[in-house]
Structure 1
Amino acid sequence: MNSSANSMSLKGIFFKFVFLPLISYNLVPLLICLVKKYLFERTEKRRAKQLSSESPGSPWIRLRAQTKTRIKSNLLDECSSVPQLFSKVMQKFKDKHCFGFRQVLHEEEQKQSDGKVFKKIVLSDYQWLSCEEINNRVEYMSKGFLSIGIKPKDIVMIFADTRLEWMISAQSLFRVGSTVATLYATLGEEGIIYGITECQVTHLITSSELLFKLKAVIHKLTQIQCIVYMSGHNRPNIQEIFSERELKRITFYSMDQIEELGKSHKDLKGVEATAQDTAVIMYTSGSTGVPKGVMVSHRNLLTAVKAFYTLAEALASDDVYCAYLPMAHIMEMSAQLFFISNGLSVGFATIQTLTDKSTGLKKGMKGDLTLLKPTIMTAVPLILDRIRRVIEDTVNKNLLSKIVFIFLRSQKSFWSHFDLNTPIINIIFCRKFKAILGGRVKVIACGGAPLSPEAHQFMRHCFDLKVLQGYGLTETSASATLMDLDDSSVGFVGQPLDGIQIKLIDWEEGNYKVIDKPNPRGEVVVGGLNVTNGYYQNEALTQELYKEENGIKWFFTGDIGEIYPNGSIKIIDRKKDIIKLSTGEYVSLAKVEAEIKKCPFVDNVCVYGNSGKDYLIALIIPNAKQLQQLANKLSKSHMSFPELCADTHINDSVLKSIQSIARNSKLSKTEIPNKIKLCSEEWLPDNNLVTSALKLKRKNIQEFYQNDINLISQFLITQVKLWKYKLNKT
């Protein structure tokens, strides 16, 4: 009797304290959401419209931003150049934190278990300068630059990593009336020589760390008369780095010396730049050959900043932006100008010190994100993919944690689909992941390459933040499209930004047409005041890719897009990534690579094809942990990483996994690689196999692995001959 009563009591407790709360927590909000979604919001929100509904090739424009956003852009409307905007912002927010940075206190050498020695740095906490202090430094630096012979309209090259001094140098040169030319700090010797020589710069600004890189090429840069260097932890010994001949030819100044010169030359003044003047000659990362210098005017940059004001309604006065991507990239430069113009504080960081587990930090040191606690970040897809991989690898080590992770993430995904918040899941699940990024990030703007839907959803659900994909090029001042804040879709790059037009044109060779069903497809063409003035010293390419129609300048991107009925744009291909096989079939290498990256064995991939062949070869950077697990299963745990990459059985197992995923992704037979090469080398900007934006340099990768490609091709030919021989015998 007692056991029966106890059983009834337990059932009552379960019903009252478990079942009913679960029903209340899940069912009631779901019913409310379904009623709202299907009775009041039956049609999908329209985000852009065509100027003419009668012409399928008519340009698309964004539906007007909210009035609040339009009012916020008044400060921009008063300015015609970047230095004008910067000065007004510094005066308006003069007492507010402007830029934050961490000083290098000292370096230590740490020996690893494998005997290798790495330099680890010890950093201070963040130190902040107010807008007034920054404005004063820019003023002194501009006068200091004038005192060493830099004149208005001169081209001055900045060759350095992202840091406070980069921004101060650029703004100082803008105030002089000079043009800033930029080079990626990771660029190889050939690219450095090309950019500096083409611009014929006499004055170069760099960092003390990069002086050693310049030493190797300085004898070929005979036009250089003056080098200004940003001081590091250790003051460089110029006399030891450069030869006596070079020291006679070139004058060296530290930035501290330039600032002091400015204080003693207060009477010097530059010339105010006009809207049409070239603000920046920005050299692209050179994914398809030598870097191209894109001429970006002051009007272009201000148009880009104004276009991004669609984000302004999401910003608060205490928001902080983390700046760590290369400032030589138009995306980072435009982003910083946008956030500064909104009065946000900007904290500088580096990829080597970003998180608590970053390889550049001494063990126990806090990463930049932990100390800065930013609310806004930008990112390229590769970084978000790496974050996802690291978390998934960690979770998969333990079965229980994996089960809990999958359950909570699926719950977050479910409720997010109905635009409902999940405060309990946010606390017990998302908070742990948000701490990796400092705990406060609410928006990540992603661009530079397509972001996979898997990575997009992962970041959105696990970190409880908005991931906004955008699309833009150096040639369009980084601005073309951006997702709305309330857009929960994945796989899209948003809609045309305010003031910018997007249209599609037919690309017959790839069989993409604006009359395609169900949605128009074609080459993406961007028009507006954001479109730059062309390529420096390359009139032929400028004429080819820039056109003017009815007073609007257009840039032909070479990217293939598809526009959906609500105005959302999806980038589906790239003209330069499409090859024609010997069978006559066209294959999109980027499409194949995107599917192969879903394989857990793959960290990065470059697919190779030849118009004289009927097959594809995949060159793969394997995931070291996954490869080691496979080695353990195949009793090859004793082998080193390079040995595993060369092992036939390992390659065959990885190939089978890739081919299985490719078939499940509905790739056609010709799109599935016949053979792979596991590459033990890293693909880095330093070895010129990827750009500074981490895009593949296909030609360089092909040349680097040409011998391997030839061997694989010969093997496949032999296999075909053997198959034909056996077929004839039967």
Structure 2
Amino acid sequence: MVFGLKLPTIMNITGIMEEMDQYMHYVGGPAGAIALTGVAAASAFYLVSRPSSEKPLVDLMCQSRQLPGAELIRVSKFYKDSKEGKFVSYLYEDTRTLYDCFRRGSKESNDGPCLGWREKPTTPYQWLHYNEALLRAKNFGSGLVALGLIPGANTFLGIYSQNCPEWIIAEHGAYSYSMAIVPLYDTLGPDSCAYIIKQTEINVVVCEDDAKCNMLLDKAPMCLRKLIVIKETRPATNQRARNRGVEIIRFSDVEYMGAQKDNDEQPPRGEDLCTVCYTSGTTGNPKGVMLTHENVVASLCAVILQMGEHRPKSSDVLMSFLPLAHMLERCCENAMLMVGGSIGYFKGDIRNLSEDMKALKPTMVPAVPRLLNRIYDKVHAEIANSFVKKLLFNMALKAKESEIKRGVIRNNSFWDKVVFRKVQEGMGGQVRLMLVGSAPLAGNVLTFIRCAMGCLVMEGYGQTECTAPISLTVQGDHVPEHVGPPVACCCIKLVDVPEMEYYAHAGQGEVCVKGKNVFKGYYKDPEHTALTIDEQGWHHTGDVGMWLPNGTLKIIDRKKHIFKLSQGEYIIPEKIENIYSRSQYVNQVFVHGESLKSCIIAVVVPDVDVIKCWASENNIQGTFSVLCAHPEVKKLIMDDMLSWGKQASLKSFEQVKDIYLHPDPFSVQNGLLTPTFKSKRPEIRSYFKPQIEDMYAKLT
């Protein structure tokens, strides 16, 4: 017993809080008693589980090194030769390509489990071990050669599938014969997929299922000759393919054919192309980012170097659910393959991700802010209606945050067992490392995740053009809302953006990157390549950053998406959106302005839980759609947005003059977000054209 609470119940946050609610009802004063309960129990538990702090790998007050010279270039402190302007390319002499990485991992793992999956929600994970995975990859690559593909970096293999073991087998099968991979993904749509296949002249695409086959067949270019299917297709689909001159072949048949032919492998070199990864882009056709084996190996080695003792090991298990079509997940999985770790794949339904994690029990999880925001919102919704739950939660958060500030990372404290166990078990209960990227993460959410998960959470900043990471936070740095120092495979400088009043001498400017991770250019697109990579080899990211006093980078703005109002004032909508997003009532916001108008307006997707709670407290009835049309709800949200704008010192012309409330979130599915969850501004503007015109009509 712990102050009247049964120990079996203590592992369940909902159960313990309900019992404490009842207990406080009988003893009277909830605040004092619960505080006494928490302090006494925490003190007792502390004595038997004394935490030890970890020493940071670099001085947290000076996390990067500035090179001599007028350009104010900053480099990593995790690589001793960086002070001489050199970058890490690899960690092991015999591991310089992704082909090498897989073979090293096989030795490190001693033929341990490699690729895992489960057939049904009720079944455990089953595993393909390293030697078998390597053999299947070799056989598949040999089968590609048997189908007529010519070994070499100029031969491209398309992959159009959700994450699964066959994705990796196909990828490394291609690498066994120096071929390059071109990933396709659902949200590109039929037109963009057809554009990519035609531009890269792909003859063969590995396709997951019947639906994806039909999507490709809808607008199949003449160059597409074969679809290799992972799952069975319908006879009607097979006939449709034949009618279009496309042959459908089973994945297993290609492996069998390759095993029979047993073509000699032709491994790639570091400078060989390993992928053309197309960025979705917010406008125009997607652009194909050309990345070499050296680019990817340097990138993942730099991140591993920066992790120190937390680096992945052969005993680690990674949960794969972020799209393999994007470089963040590709780098994470190939890093696991290099160290001999295990990769388990979710079943494909993000709504059941927690069940997959409980079955897999991963130790490493690459994540995106969208997922972590959901966890944060769910926990806060759970405690919203109970004073005691809020009190206990806030005590737990404060205690864990205090430990994090002292360099303590653990998940076995009293607060972990009482308050945060449910969150941890929702991700399998064994996560020790989480990598977060692809979009900015709010400081309060990052701090919550670090406290609740009791593991190292590293936030990175990067781009496809830089093979994912550019900078990464350091173990021991508990301060949120920055993206750490440069990783060891590149250097960073800031360049003046005078039209936005950002200057490098003041520690602000466009983030420019040079190093082993910077791409070779856009495929068959020298014009955009020249606009992005300058004559000195610096990649201009389009993001605006600032150096913090401790040598870490903070992303503060975006160079693009600037427009003028009729009075000549420049508006940077993303800056204003980031400020308005701090409002508890705002889930998503799109700020719009026009050169013929004197003010800006916004489309706002309110936070459904917060708005419903407020409406209930204020006796306002109706569905969420009805609430979005309610004038009092609109006034509440707009007043709070303007208040946040005032706090952030927005000028009067930077504050919105009207808003439209929309009940449905912007999403990848409805075409208003890119696959990396950035706003597709032209599409949003077009989608809400009637509402935008109506708002401006009322303001004139």
Category of TM-score, reference length = shorter chain: 0.7 to 0.9
Change (3 A) 1:651 1:216: farther
2:103 pairs with 1:87: yes
**Structure number with larger C-alpha Rg:** 1
Q: Distance in 1 between matches of 2:314 and 2:533?
A: 39
Determine the structure 1 residue equivalent to 2:249.
Answer: 253
Change (3 A) 1:51 1:346: same
> Which amino acid in the other structure matches residue 696 of structure 1?
S
Q: Distance in 2 between matches of 1:557 and 1:18?
A: 52
For residues 507-656 of structure 1, the aligned pairs below 5 Å read 507-516=497-506, 520-549=507-536, 553-633=537-617, 635-637=619-621, 639-656=622-639
1:212 Cα offset (Å): 5.4
Change (3 A) 1:22 1:175: closer
> Which amino acid in the other structure matches residue 597 of structure 1?
S
Q: Distance in 2 between matches of 1:205 and 1:677?
A: 44
Change (3 A) 1:464 1:88: closer
For residues 190-589 of structure 1, the aligned pairs below 5 Å read 190-211=191-212, 213-214=214-215, 217-218=218-219, 220-231=220-231, 235-237=232-234, 239-241=235-237, 243-244=239-240, 246-247=242-243, 249-266=245-262, 268-309=263-304, 310-315=306-311, 316-349=313-346, 352-353=349-350, 358=351, 367-420=355-408, 423-516=413-506, 520-549=507-536, 553-589=537-573
Q: TM-score, normalised by structure 2?
A: 0.86
Q: Distance in 2 between matches of 1:228 and 1:98?
A: 23
Q: Distance in 1 between matches of 2:347 and 2:584?
A: 28
Instruction: Give SS of 2:611's match.
Output: helix
Q: Distance in 2 between matches of 1:66 and 1:402?
A: 47
1:694 corresponds to which of 677, 695, 699: 677
1:459 Cα offset (Å): 0.7
Determine the structure 2 residue equivalent to 1:7.
Answer: none
Q: Distance in 2 between matches of 1:350 and 1:668?
A: 49
Q: Distance in 2 between matches of 1:99 and 1:690?
A: 31
Deviations 1:626-665 (A, max 9, x none): 333344456552x333333334443233222322333344
1:190 Cα offset (Å): 2.3
CA contact (8 A) 1:151 1:177 kept: no
CA contact (8 A) 1:593 1:605 kept: yes
CA contact (8 A) 1:281 1:296 kept: yes
Q: Which runs of 5+ in 1 are unaligned?
A: 1-13, 106-121, 718-730
1:339 Cα offset (Å): 2.1
1:162 Cα offset (Å): 1.6
Matched residue count: 652
2:128 pairs with 1:132: no
Determine the structure 2 residue equivalent to 1:59.
Answer: 73
Change (3 A) 1:64 1:407: closer
CA contact (8 A) 1:75 1:85 kept: no
> Which amino acid in the other structure matches residue 441 of structure 1?
V
Instruction: Give SS of 1:440's match.
Output: coil
> Which amino acid in the other structure matches residue 87 of structure 1?
R
2:658 pairs with 1:661: no
Change (3 A) 1:392 1:329: same
> Which amino acid in the other structure matches residue 494 of structure 2?
L
Q: Distance in 2 between matches of 1:641 and 1:371?
A: 35
1:242 Cα offset (Å): 5.4
Q: Distance in 2 between matches of 1:583 and 1:380?
A: 39
Q: Distance in 1 between matches of 2:520 and 2:284?
A: 21
Q: Distance in 1 between matches of 2:43 and 2:424?
A: 28
CA contact (8 A) 2:90 2:301 kept: no
Stretch deviating more after TM superposition (564-573 or 678-687): 678-687
Q: Distance in 1 between matches of 2:689 and 2:680?
A: 14
1:615 Cα offset (Å): 2.3
Change (3 A) 1:215 1:524: closer
CA contact (8 A) 2:65 2:551 kept: yes
Q: TM-score, normalised by structure 1?
A: 0.83
Change (3 A) 1:347 1:508: same
Deviations 1:462-489 (A, max 9, x none): 2222221111111111121111112212
Change (3 A) 1:143 1:393: same
For residues 167-182 of structure 1, the aligned pairs below 5 Å read 167-182=168-183
Change (3 A) 1:201 1:532: same
> Which amino acid in the other structure matches residue 510 of structure 2?
E
Change (3 A) 1:581 1:652: same
Change (3 A) 1:458 1:376: same
2:92 pairs with 1:76: yes
Q: Distance in 2 between matches of 1:509 and 1:217?
A: 45
Q: Distance in 2 between matches of 1:243 and 1:621?
A: 45
State the structure with bigger RCO (CA 8 A, min sep 6), 1 or 2. 2
CA contact (8 A) 2:90 2:96 kept: no
- Same amino acid, percent of matched pairs: 26
1:204 Cα offset (Å): 1.2
> Which amino acid in the other structure matches residue 261 of structure 1?
M
> Which amino acid in the other structure matches residue 300 of structure 2?
V
Q: Distance in 2 between matches of 1:647 and 1:425?
A: 41
Change (3 A) 1:278 1:468: same
Instruction: Give SS of 2:666's match.
Output: coil
> Which amino acid in the other structure matches residue 138 of structure 1?
A
> Which amino acid in the other structure matches residue 493 of structure 2?
K
Q: Which runs of 5+ in 2 are unaligned?
A: 1-32, 82-87
CA contact (8 A) 2:42 2:415 kept: no
1:44 Cα offset (Å): 5.0
> Which amino acid in the other structure matches residue 642 of structure 2?
Q
CA contact (8 A) 1:156 1:179 kept: yes
CA contact (8 A) 2:409 2:455 kept: no
Instruction: Give SS of 2:227's match.
Output: strand
Determine the structure 2 residue equivalent to 1:709.
Answer: 692
